[in-house]
Structure 1
Amino acid sequence: MAKRPTKLQMLAQTGAPAKTCQATESVCADFLDYLRSECHLAANTIAAYGRDMKRFCSWVGKRKLNQLTIGDLSAYIGKLQSFGLAPASIARNVVATRTFFKYLQLEGIVDANPAELIATQKMWQRMPGVLSRSQVDAFLKAPRRTDAYWQRDVAMLEVLYATGCRASEVCSIRVRDLSLSEKHLKCEGKGGKQRMVPIGSQAIAAIDRYTEEVRGKLAAKCPHPPEPLFLSRSGRALDRIQLWRLVKFYARRVGIDPKISPHSLRHSFATHLLAGGADLRHVQEMLGHASIQTTQIYTHVEHSRLKKVHQSFHPRA
């Protein structure tokens, strides 16, 4: 069956004024549908690409997509830097732009792909925040028995650090995903990819206490039995925003930098494993990274710490 022409192709065939701002927004929407339906990317990834493409469409304006050059796209990346975006955000915008132009080629909207020549933004102009072991210990002890649902919060924080899971992965863990007797759990990562993640005895004890003392009471508040492990006070699944707020709250309580996020515990998990001698490939598997290059980030973090130790204590540093 012949592929249905896109809106931009139909504009070109009819001789209508092609690639206006409206048309660019239209093809960007088609691109997101393509990522969703054919590439099966995760909802959070689609949302991030959507924000990137909205910014890109605003920059393109009334220019024609098939007339953009590498110079134009380089200027766009420079514009992103002027917005004060983090290096990681700029790098993701580069990836989104490259992927978008590959899609345009597939659809026959452009012949050449200037986005392939965009220089990659170096991800490690800024190292990810990593907590020390003593900070992690203090943080995991931050919930107090006087706090509402402290058992849930202790279990949640323990799972974040014990598994290195992303916030969205922790929120989506279901009771049936737990295999605590075998010391692992199943989580669903980006693109719907599932993986088995080991979990330690302290996190297991915290989960057991939470499920025995609190979860049943929270679940009873919801008319339909909820599947997720971690529930809000209303009995529904705890979402990423609520998790983020709880992490910030407990960080402030124990005097840790309030800029930390659930991802800081993921960074700490990986860095502490590598510092202890863990194999990089094993850490990659536990984190659910598609590429070993992403996991190598944490070797740079650990090396930066070693440099500081060397400079502080070596007599000829």
Structure 2
Amino acid sequence: MQSYKELFMEYLQIEKNASPLTLKHYGRDLDEFESFLKSEGLTIHECEYPVIRIFLSRQYEAQYSRRTVSRKISSLRSYFRFLEREEIVGQNPFLNVVLPKKESPIPNFFYEEELEKLFTVSDLHTPLGQRNQALIELLYGTGVRVSECVKMELPDLDFSLNTALVHGKGSKDRYVPYGQFAAKALQTYINDGRKQLASKKDDSSKRLFLNAKGGPLTADGIRLILKNMVEKAAMTVDIHPHKLRHSFATHLLNEGADLRSVQELLGHERLSSTQIYTHVSKDRLKNVYMNSHPRANKR
């Protein structure tokens, strides 16, 4: 017989079409909560608001960030909502729990001159070098998430319009344009490097990015590729795929793109998710003002 947790995870996967990363986070949060209940000698049916307060106090004692605590509350609230729907519990003890106010961290991004170094380290005479060049051009040129990048297939690219069909969170698709640098790198890789990589594995995979053995490239594989590129460029900066996404959004806003357009390109459901990038534009606006307004500076 399936456990309550297994039933819920199946519901997330089948009915909600949750991503593997979302399932991983939910599973980890539920495991931690079940361990807490076991340590207190309680069952899922004995969860009331005072029990939840004890659980939350343990989270703060462990010095989890407000963002992490918020995620755990949301996970457990959804879990109990499911249990309530299935008539396994009578009430949702997380229903009236207020989420802690989230921090608004400044997004970490590359300066343009830093990115230029990364665009010069790949050996374009090798299949893997061509793949790596196409990969970084696409990540920076479209701002796609790494989870969206690994799912991308050959038919998703339209070279006549230079657009990519991106399969986003919650099965929400969007079209994102890419520039000439990305188009050239992608065409070189698809026409040459990818064919050589695909020949190593006898399958009919349409995935755009392949690994050294010819199989689909994973998210962890992309992170390792970017790390190696930074090392080749002799850069002393941290890199992760989301940093390229942050750079994409920041550079667009710095050059005058409007927030709504950037929101659509990033696939953000809420404008508030995109507004974290506006602080970077404030520096640019200040410079424009100081250099342009007749009463801003003594001449």
Equivalences for residues 231-310 of structure 1 within 5 A? 231-300=210-279, 302-303=281-282
Structure 2 residue 143 is matched with structure 1 residue 177: no
Q: 1:86-106, CA deviations, whole angstroms, 9 ceiling, x for partnerless residues?
A: 554333222212211221221
Asked whether 1:80 is paired with 2:55, we answer no
Q: Secondary structure of 2:103's match?
A: helix
Q: How far is 1:65 from its partner?
A: 2.9
Once residues 280 and 60 of structure 2 are traced to their aligned partners in structure 1, the CA distance between those partners, rounded to angstroms, is: 23
Are the aligned partners of 2:124 and 2:133 in contact in 1 as well (CA < 8 Å)?
A: no
Matching of residue 57 in structure 1 with residue 41 in structure 2: no
Q: Where does residue 42 of structure 1 map in the other structure?
A: 19
Q: How far apart in 1 are the matches of 2:275 and 2:73?
A: 20
In 2, distance between residues paired with 1:196 and 1:47?
28
CA deviations on 1:125-173 (whole Å, 9 max, x unpaired) are 5333211222222223232457762111011001001111111211111
Q: What secondary structure, in the 3-state scheme, does the structure 2 residue paired with 1:196 have?
A: strand
Secondary structure of the residue aligned to 1:260 is coil
1:290 Cα deviation after fit = 2.2
CA distance in 1, matches of 2:53, 2:85: 22
Counterpart CA distance in 1 for 2:244 and 2:212 is 24
The range that moved more, 282-291 or 173-182, is 282-291
Q: CA 1:265–1:122 in 2, change beyond 3 Å: closer, same or farther?
A: farther
Partner Cα separation in structure 2 for residue 70 and residue 256 of structure 1: 50
Q: 1:210 aligns with which of 174, 189, 200?
A: 189
Helix, strand or coil for the counterpart of 2:166?
strand
CA distance 1:276–1:242, change in 2 (3 Å): same
Distance verdict in 2 for CA 1:85–1:220, change over 3 Å: farther
Q: Which residue of 2 aligns with 1:168?
A: 147
Distance 1:41 1:32 in 2: 9
Q: Which residue is equivalent to 1:13? A: none
Q: Give 1:194 deviation, angstroms.
A: 1.7
Deviation at 1:306, TM superposition (A): 6.5
Kindly tell me: are residues 82 and 153 of structure 1, through their superposed partners in 2, closer, same or farther at Cα, counting changes over 3 Å?
Answer: farther
Using a 3 Å threshold, how does the CA distance of structure 1 residues 102 and 216 change in structure 2: closer, same or farther?
same
Q: What SS is found at the alignment partner of 1:45? A: helix
- Confirm whether residue 149 of structure 1 aligns to residue 128 of structure 2: yes
Q: Give the % identical residues.
A: 31
Give SS of 1:232's match. coil
TM-score of the pair, normalised by structure 2:
0.85
The letter of the residue matching 2:265 is M
- Following superposition, the deviation at residue 250 of structure 1 comes to 1.4
Report deviation, 1:78.
4.0
User: Structure 1 residues 53 and 306, CA, compared in 2 at 3 Å: closer, same or farther?
Assistant: farther
Distance 2:232 2:58 in 1: 38
Q: Secondary structure at the match of 2:160?
A: helix
Pick closer, same or farther for the CA change 1:84–1:158 going to 2, 3 Å: farther
Deviation readout 1:45-101 (Å, 9 max, x if unpaired): 222211221122112223133433444334433433444545543332222122112
The worse-fitting range, judged by mean Cα deviation, of 72-81 and 193-202 is 72-81
Aligned-partner Cα distance in 2 for 1:115–1:229: 42
Pair 70,113 (structure 1): closer, same or farther in 2 beyond 3 Å: same
Query: 1:236 offset after TM fit, Å?
Result: 0.9
Aligned to 1:11: none
Which TM-score applies when normalising by structure 1? 0.81
Answer yes or no: is the 8 Å Cα contact 1:87–1:126 preserved in 2.
no
Q: Is the 8 A contact 2:127 2:197 kept in 1?
A: no
Unaligned regions of 5+ residues in structure 1, if any? 1-6, 8-24
